[in-house]
Structure formats: structure tokens, C-alpha cells
């Protein structure tokens, strides 16, 4: 059965969704069941004794027993030339993400009978062209050539606002995670699709909307003028206001919003690939017209690193105390030696003055004689 696939690799959990072909169109995105107890699976890999990489919840369970072989956080490490090490084996981060995608694609193929017509994969919003090229090449080496990479915020908008309206449009995304809320302001103009603009990370959940409206105000957009606000991730209860100033969307499963939107964007992209007509209005640089890989660009320069020397705490033993007070101790010793010398000198003089003087011998009246006595 023809289908397209959307995958959202988040920091802790990975979600996936698919759209199936229905006549000349596509069905609504449906989440795929990846985990053992929930639709999401752990964003983790585990190196077993035979050298194979386990994925998802199976990897997390095995890693709980042997943490030294567990691999996490690799998706955000893509573009770093330092590989991740497990049991002395180096693993490039882009290769690990590709292995995770392969596991999900194999699961989808078992459900739908073959590979997807198109794959949309999310990535962090602060990525540049270099990181996308590195991941795209790793996916192409694994056989995934029909791939589109989009920021997670754009994928979340795809779940509720896949096609922007005419003219200039502004929308917002609030992605709730373990490290706070990532607030992103997205814009669209004319024939272009959504493109992420200003963003703020680590925002407190209670301040998410106020931060978004502040970003909109800086872009000369009022809250009432927003095309909508999409809530995704672990959205807390009562996060949406009772009287919102603009349309707001949370969906039935907020943690899967980005994956559902990625599948919707994959359906749009697949339609464009299957017809020789002009690209639809949603085509942007985020949904590239050409999927061929060019030369890999230059690696972005690393930011300057300032190393602050770490001062170890000093020991408090007597010897170390003497070392820290060495000049003072030397002065005290010199003074003590001088005082001791003075005391010894004075004591010696007093002892000499108080001792009795021995009497001088009486003069002898013996005249020398030849016999040797007086």
C-alpha cells in the first residue's frame, strides 16, 4: 500500500506517523505504534554483545542493565566531528540517527508492505545547511533518497496549518519539553511555506504565550493577527487560555504533533514528486525541489572556547599552613632566635656577676733553699 512517513526524533522519545494513499489523495496522518506501552519509543540505541544496535524501548531496557553501552542524545550531536564511543567503538552521530530511522522504516514496511514514497524527518531549529547535508548523506547511503528535513516547529505547524493562507502570514509554535518550552515564531509570504524566525528556548510553561506574543510584537504582529498557535510536546493541562486572541491548536496527542505534521508535509511532497506540474504553493527551501546531493559545504567554524583554570582547594594541614605563612613564620623564627640570644646573654652575665671571686693566694715568705723546704 503506498504511504508516506513522518518521523520526529525528540530528545527523549521518537514519534512516527504515516499517510496512506486514498484514490488521488492521502489519508489523514495516523500515528505509528513504536513503543511497547505507548506510540512513542525511546530515542536510544544499545550495542549488544554481538555488535548489533538495538533501537527504541528495547535499547533503553538493555541500557538500564548495562549503561556503558547505551547511546542517547546523538541526534543533536550531528555535525560534530567527534564520534560517540561505546566499548572502544566509534559511532558518528549521523550514523546513529540513520540506524534509528532504519528501525522505524522497517516497522512501517512490515505494516504497509514496502518502503515509503517519501520521508520527512525533523531536526532542531538551530541547524544550518551543513548539519542537514551531513544527515542527508548518511540517509542516502542507507537507501533513503526521497527525504525532506524540516525543523520540528515547521513540522508541528504542518499538523494544523500545512498550507499558509495568501499573503504574509505569522504563526507561533510552543514546544513543551523537559528543559522548558521552545517558543518559535514562523512566517510565510506569498508562495513560500512556513519558515522559522525568532525563537526562545528554556521558557517557563506559564510564560510561553507571553513570550510568543512578545516575539510577535517585535516582528510588528499582534496576537490577534497570528494565523494560529500550535502546542506540541508534553503540554500541561490548562495550557491553552480560555479566551485565546487567535486560533490555537493542541491536537488529541500533543507529543505526536510534530510527527503527524511531518507525515502531512510528506504527503504534499510526494504529490509534487509524482507530477510534472508546477510545484504547489507550499514548496520552500525547507521542502526542496531537488533531492540530489551536491558537494558538502564547509564545516561552520567552532565558537571560541575560553578555558578558565580550575583552582584546587588548599589543604589545611599544619605543613601547608606553614607554607602559606612562610614569610611570617620566618620573621617569627628570626625574632624568636634574637630574643633567645638576648636572654642567654643576659642570663650568662647575671650568673657571672653573682658568683664569688676566689681569694688570691697568700704571699710566700719561704726563701729558697737548696733543701727544697722552708
Q: What is the pLDDT of residue 196?
A: 92
Which range has the worst mean pLDDT, 9-13, 167-171, 286-290? 286-290
| Global confidence as pTM | 0.73
Contacts of 207 (CB under 8 A, 6+ apart): 181
Q: What is the pLDDT of residue 234?
A: 92
Distance CA 150, CA 156 (A): 10
Report the half-sphere exposure of 204 (CA within 13 A, side-chain side). 3
Contacts of 370 (CB under 8 A, 6+ apart): none
> In whole angstroms, how far apart are CA 356 and each of 351, 352, 353, 359?
10, 9, 8, 9
Distance CA 113, CA 1 (A): 6
Q: Which three cell numbers stand for residue 214?
A: 512578545
Nearest by Cα to 38 from 253, 291, 264, 358: 253
pLDDT at 348 over 50: yes
**13-22 and 41-42 strand pairing:** antiparallel
Residues 8-23 have pLDDT tens digits of 999 889 999 999 999 8
What does DSSP assign to residue 173?
E
pLDDT at 276 over 50: no
Parse the chain into domains and list their residue ranges.
3-165+251-274
Which range has the worst mean pLDDT, 125-139, 183-197, 250-264, 349-363? 349-363
Residues 141-155 have pLDDT tens digits of 999 999 999 999 999
Which range has the worst mean pLDDT, 277-281, 300-304, 335-339? 277-281
CATH numeric code, 3-165+251-274:
3.30.420.40
H/E element, 178: none
User: How does DSSP assign 45-101, residue by residue?
Assistant: EEE-TTSPEEEHHHHHHHHHH-GGGEEES-GGGTT-SS-EEETTEEE-HHHHHHHHH
Amino acid at each position: 500500500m503506498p504511504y508516506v512517513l513522518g518521523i520526529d526524533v525528540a530528545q527523549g522519545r521518537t514519534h512516527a506517523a504515516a499517510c496512506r494513499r486514498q484514490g488521488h489523495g492521502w489519508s489523514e496522518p495516523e500515528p505509528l505504534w513504536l513503543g511497547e506501552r505507548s506510540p512513542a519509543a525511546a530515542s536510544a540505541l544499545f550495542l549488544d554483545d554481538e555488535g548489533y544496535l538495538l533501537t527504541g524501548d528495547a535499547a533503553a531496557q538493555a541500557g538500564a542493565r548495562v549503561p556503558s553501552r547505551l547511546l542517547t542524545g546523538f541526534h543533536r550531536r550531528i555535525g560534530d566531528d567527534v564520534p560517540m564511543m561505546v566499548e572502544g567503538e566509534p559511532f558518528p552521530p549521523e550514523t546513529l540517527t540513520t540506524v534509528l530511522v532504519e528501525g522505524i522504516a522497517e516497522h512501517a514496511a512490515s505494516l504497509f508492505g514496502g518502503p515509503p514514497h517519501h520521508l520527512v524527518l525533523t531536526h532542531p531549529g538551530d541547524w544550518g545547511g551543513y548539519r542537514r547535508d551531513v544527515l542527508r548523506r548518511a540517509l542516502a547511503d542507507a537507501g533513503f533518497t526521497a527525504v525532506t528535513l524540516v525543523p520540528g516547529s515547521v513540522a508541528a505547524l504542518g499538523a494544523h496549518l500545512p498550507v499558509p493562507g495568501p499573503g504574509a502570514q505569522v504563526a507561533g509554535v510552543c514546544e513543551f519539553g523537559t528543559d522548558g518550552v521552545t517558543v518559535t515564531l514562523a512566517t510565510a509570504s506569498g508562495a513560500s511555506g512556513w519558515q522559522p524566525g525568532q525563537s526562545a528556548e528554556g521558557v517557563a510553561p506559564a510564560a510561553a504565550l507571553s513570550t510568543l506574543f512578545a516575539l510577535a510584537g517585535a516582528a510588528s504582529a499582534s496576537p490577534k493577527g497570528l494565523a494560529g498557535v500550535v502546542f506540541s510536546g508534553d503540554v500541561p493541562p490548562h495550557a491553552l487560555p480560555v479566551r485565546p486572541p487567535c486560533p490555537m491548536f493542541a491536537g488529541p496527542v500533543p507529543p505526536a504533533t510534530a510527527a503527524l505534521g511531518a507525515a502531512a508535509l510528506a504527503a504534499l511532497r510526494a504529490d509534487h514528486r509524482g507530477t510534472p506540474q508546477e510545484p504547489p504553493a507550499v514548496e520552500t527551501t525547507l521542502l526542496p525541489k531537488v533531492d540530489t546531493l551536491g558537494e558538502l559545504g564547509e564545516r561552520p567554524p567552532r565558537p571560541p572556547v575560553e578555558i578558565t583554570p580550575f583552582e584546587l582547594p588548599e589543604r589545611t594541614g599544619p605543613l601547608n599552613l606553614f607554607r602559606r605563612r612562610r614569610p611570617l613564620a620566618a620573621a617569627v623564627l628570626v625574632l624568636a632566635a634574637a630574643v633567645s640570644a638576648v636572654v642567654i646573654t643576659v642570663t650568662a652575665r647575671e650568673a657571672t656577676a653573682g658568683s664569688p671571686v676566689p681569694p688570691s693566694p697568700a704571699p710566700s715568705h719561704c726563701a729558697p733553699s737548696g733543701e727544697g723546704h722552708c
